[in-house]
Every structure is written in structure tokens, then in C-alpha cells.
Chains A and B, each alone.
Chain A
Amino acid sequence: MAVDQAVVVPLPERRRRVPFNPIQRVAVAMTPLGLLFLIPFFYVPLFALLVRSVRPGAGQHWWSPYSQMVTQGDLLPILSQSFTIASIAFVSMLVIGYPLAYIITFRMKASWHMPMLLLLIISGSVSDIIRIFAWYTLLGYNGILNEALLKIGVISQPMTAILFSRLAVILVLAAGWLPYIVIPIYAAMRTISRSQLEAARDLYSGRLAVLRHIIGPLSAPGVLGAFIVVFVPLLSEFATPQLVGGPNTLMVGNLVSDQLLEVGNWTAAAAGATLLLVIAVILIIAAQRVSRRVSGT
């Protein structure tokens, strides 16, 4: 081949290193500080919990506290109940929270976003105990709901099946955690470019198709974030089942709390807490995989 006919292949440019800006430099410099805080206040207690959970009594194996919880204790039925309650509460919140996040993101003026989110945050900032006792006023035997239904003649005597039931636990959990569902989903939806939505509409896509093929997949990381922030703590709830639950609404959090405070068995309580932690990690990993598949990343 003649030289003048040779194809010149350009050499790749050397990647230029962009220097950090001042804010980035500060962030990088503070990273060790964050680790310094995490190590004694998070990782050390976590390690202590793990160590405590494998300190069985005399003549037992290190796994005895775990095996006893499963075989002799009531862990499996209570775990099943916890999953049921947490799942129903989470799905209920998603059914309400996802459309709410959509409306705030795409149907409200930008100037309304912050006030709406602030309203949600304020509602979530009320003390749990006060919020739970407010439900007594609403759902109780002499509560507002019973009074209203009695007045309009729907019932002839107050209902007793609402408060102190699984339904009450699910309602209170869903109402209390709703803000924490909306915020991560909103944050994910905010990153969706309007031009993508307009392009879809230009190509005659209906709203459902836009939701299914664009908004849904792109907001999946937000739903994942909501799952991590909400579902995992729901599993370990103990105050709500204790205060508004009935005699059959024990959750795993109550089991751990009872082992610690009633039984005084710290090893069993540590084992229960560690099991919850392992379950949480498994759930998060599974949720991440589902989210990646849905979002196509």
C-alpha cells in the first residue's frame, strides 16, 4: 500500500486529570473523619453484637443460640407474620406513595415541590408515641370512626376489631413511614429528563406506556432506596405492634425486645438481632438485583 493511501488511525488522547474543585477537596479530606466516626459507633457495636450472639451457655455450641431460636423458640411463625405485616404495609405505602411522588414531580410546579416535601417531612417528624396514640382517638372503641359510623347508622354498636389488631398495626406503620417512601422515589423521578417524556409523547406513546417504559424503569432506583429505607426497619418494628397490636401481632422486633428485657437473655437477643441483620442484607441484595434488571443498568 502506498504511504499516501495509508489510513491514519488517530492515537487515543491521554485522559487529562481534572483537578478537584475546593468543595470536592473538602469532601475527600473529610472522608477519613466519617470513617473515624463509623468505626467506633457503628462497626464496633456491630462486631460486639456478633460476638455476643455466639456466646452460648456451658456445654453448648457457638451456633446454639441460633438453632434454639429456630427450633425451640417461636421465631419462624413470628418471622412469617413480620414479613406479612411489613409486606402489606410496604405495598400499601407504595400504592399511595408512588403516585404521590409522581404528582409532586411531574404535575406540580417546581415551586411547590419543596413545600410538599416539607409537609411530608414534618408529618414524619412527629414523635412515634404521639402519632400512635392519635390512632387511639381515631380507631378506638370511643374513637372518631366509631362515633361517625354510629351516628350515620352504619353500625349499631362500636366496632372492636379495628384497634388492637393486625389491621391497626399495618395502618399505623403505613401512615408513619409514608414520607420515607415518597422522598427517595421523588429524588429518582427528578432525574428523569423531560425531553425523554416529550420524545415519547411525540412518538404517540400513551401515559401508561410512558410510565411503563420510561418513568417506571428510571425510578426503580428510587423504589429500591425506599425499600431499603422502609421495608428493612419495618421488619424490626416493636413499638407499634406493642401499642396498637392485639394478642396475636407479635413481630420479630418484639421477640428480640422480649428476650432482652423480659427473659434477660442477651445472647438470644443478640442472635435474634443478628438474624434480622442477615435477612436485611439478603433482602437489600435481592432488591438491588431486581432494580438493576428493571432499570436496565
Chain B
Amino acid sequence: MAVVAAAVVATGAVSACSGAPASHAKGAITGNLTIFAYSDAFAPAVFNSFTKQNPSLSVQQADISSDEEGVAKLKAGFQADVVNTCAGPVSQEIGNGDLQPIDTSRIKDWNDIYPFFKSIAGVDVNGKTYMLPLVGGAYGLAYRPSAFPTPPTSWKQLFTTDKRITEPDDPLTSIIVAALALGYFPPQSMTAAQLANVKQLLIAQKKHVVTYYQGDALSTLWADNEVDITPIDITLVDQLHGKNVAFAPMNPPLAWTCGYSIGKHAQNLDAVYAYLNYALSPLVQDAQATSFSYLVSNKMSAAKLSAAVLAKTGQNNVGKYHTAATFGTPSNIATWTQLWQDVKAAGS
């Protein structure tokens, strides 16, 4: 299975809808389908089978390179039938009126999705389901063993180390990690005083921050030996060229979730649900777990994974993520984003 380096989004969440063919009546779906997704969703080895099985369906691909780009494009009027989204940006997309609810009765394996995935903020809003959760992963700290002979064991060490740090240029990730370092749980419920402490912590950290990266820049920073430690999604550690990089899981765990939503203007719903079911099918999800080390949302898929994959991804312990911190958007997201602007501007 070809592994395509996905764009590292600001939340570190990369969603793939990829994998081997899913069973579907050939030629039953016609018309057009526009899929707005991260690039690895279109990897030929996983995507072509869907198009082959639906030869009468004209599929257009549109790439997302970051959560912010996805939100901005949809808000600007970009029309897509299927939207790749994650916990975090999905709340903004719902708030902007860019998504329509999912009819879960048309999702064949809906009842086989782990309850943990269904409880993620943004999946279900006011009794309506807006995101079909597909994959997830755990956040931790990637570190350079040569700089850290003893692996870091807590989020706090990201703020007390004198080694070279990089953080994603994303308010959600950076503030959540700082909140967890200060012991604020869940991060989305922080008070104004707690947010002020988070701000001070992030400003104090700046003297050891090399840069705030966007997109896929982390791979270059790591390969060029510019940084020593960063918060990262476990599924992306392999992209740091495998050399002189190790991953330290953290406590409390921080988990991301991504999946698919339906665009507000989607008309060809038969094609949309065909694609959603394809994405949730065990064969596709198996490929995601094997190739990308993702946690998968379909229990039927998890049941078929090898012991090695289960251990590597943490799927065998998926229950612990029920209490994990998540990337759900807080109700005061405007305050968070302004806080992040203030942090970046401090010292200018």
C-alpha cells in the first residue's frame, strides 16, 4: 500500500480515506462527485478502486493542505460534496453553515463505530450528526534521542526544556498542549485566569522556540536538525525521516479525530453516501491502520488487524481514549485565537 506523506495540518490531524476496494454495486452511481480532502485520500492505490467500481460517476478531487485552508475555502463558497474534516475545524464549518447533517441510517456500519469516536465534539451537534468519524490518533512528543537521553514523560517538559522547540502555528494545538502541561482538563473549559496562565507559559517558552511551523515544514525542520522536540501526532513520526527521532506518549493523552462531512450544496447524495460507506468499510480502514498507524473507528475493521498493528496504533487500548483530551473547538475560540496572536506578537 503506497504511503503518501500527508500534509501535516495545524492540528496535526491527517485524515485519509484510503485503502482497498469496498464492495459496491458496479455502475450504480452516476453523475458528479467533488471530494475536498487531504492528498493521501487520493493516493491511486486506495482511491482508484472507488472510481473503478463507479465508472459512471465523474469524481473531481480538490486538495486540502491545512484545516485553516479548508475552513476558509468553504466559507468563501467553494462547493464540495464530501469534505474531509477533523474535530476542531468541523465546528467552525458547521458554524459557517457549510455542512449538512449526515443521515446515519444510510451509513451501513454506523452501529459498529466505537462510542468514543461518536462522542467527539463536532460529530454530533444539537442532535444532528455532521461528521462521520473515521480515524484518529494520539498526540505526544517527538524528540531527538541525542538531545534527550532520558525520554520526556510529561507535557510540562516541552515548556521547561532548554532544547530547541518547535510548535505548530495553530492556536488549538498549542493552547491545548500548554493547558495539559498546566494540568487544566478538559482544556476547552479553561477559565479566563487559566487562559492567562497558558498565555504566560507560551510566551515564556518562546525563548527556546525556533519557529512556529505550518503545513509540512516540520519534516524539513527535523531533517535539517533545526529542532529537538515538538508535539506531534504519532502517525506522523515516521515522516520525520526515521532518524534520530523517537516518540513519547503523554499523560493525559490527547487524541485527534478526522472523518468526512457532507457539503452544504451536495446534490448527488447517492454518490456521497457510496463514498462515505466506502471510507468506513473494513478493508479501507485496515489499510489506514496498517499504512498510517491510525486508530480506526470501525470495530469490524479493528477485529481483523494483526497484533503488531494493534499494539503499534494503540487500537488494542482504544478504550483509554474515552478520557483523552480532544481537539474539540472551545466555545470561546475567538478568545483562544486572539491569545495565540498575542503570544506570537509578544517580543516583536
Contact = CB atoms under 8 A, between A and B. Distances in A.
Contacts of B272: none
Interface string A69-91: 00011100110110000000000
A142 B342 contact: no
B348 A78 contact: yes
A249 B348 CA distance: 6
Interface in B87-111: 92, 96
B210 interface: yes
B344 interface: yes
A133 interface: yes
B171 interface: yes
26 contacts: A73-B341, A74-B348, A136-B220, A140-B224, A141-B225, A141-B226, A142-B224, A142-B225, A160-B164, A246-B210, A247-B206, A247-B210, A247-B212, A248-B206, A248-B347, A249-B348, A254-B344, A255-B341, A261-B69, A261-B71, A262-B337, A263-B334, A263-B337, A263-B338, A263-B341, A264-B72
Interface of B: 68-69, 71-72, 75, 92, 96, 164, 169-171, 206, 209-212, 214, 217, 220, 224-226, 334, 337-338, 340-342, 344-348
A250 interface: yes
Contact of B214 (A140, A242, A248, A265): A242
Interface in A117-149: 133, 136, 140-143
Contact of B171 (A142, A246, A262): A262
A250 B334 contact: no
Given A141-B226, A160-B164, A247-B206, A262 B347 contact: no
A98 interface: no
A243 B217 contact: yes
A246 B211 contact: yes
Contact of B68 (A72, A133, A250, A262): A262
B309 to A, nearest CB: 34
A164 B217 CA distance: 13
A260 B68 CA distance: 9
Contacts of A133: 220
A246 B345 CA distance: 11
Contacts, number: 80
A133 B224 CA distance: 11
Contacts of B71: 261, 264
Interface residues of A, number: 33
Contacts of A260: 72
Nearest to B224: A140
Interface in A52-111: 72-74, 77-78, 80-81
A258 interface: yes
A80 B164 CA distance: 27
Contacts of B346: 248
B71 to A, nearest CB: 6
A245 interface: yes
Interface in A232-253: 242-243, 245-250
Contact of B92 (A143, A247, A264): A264
A113 B338 CA distance: 51
Given A133-B220, A136-B224, A261 B341 contact: no
A77 B345 contact: yes
Nearest to A244: B211
Nearest to A263: B337
A74 B342 contact: yes
Interface in A257-284: 258, 260-265
Contact of B341 (A246, A249, A258): A258
A262 B344 CA distance: 13
B277 to A, nearest CB: 32
A58 B212 CA distance: 34
A163 interface: yes
Nearest to A136: B224
Given A77-B345, A140-B226, 13 more contacts: A73-B338, A74-B341, A74-B348, A77-B348, A136-B224, A247-B209, A247-B347, A248-B206, A248-B348, A260-B72, A262-B171, A262-B340, A263-B334
B10 to A, nearest CB: 8
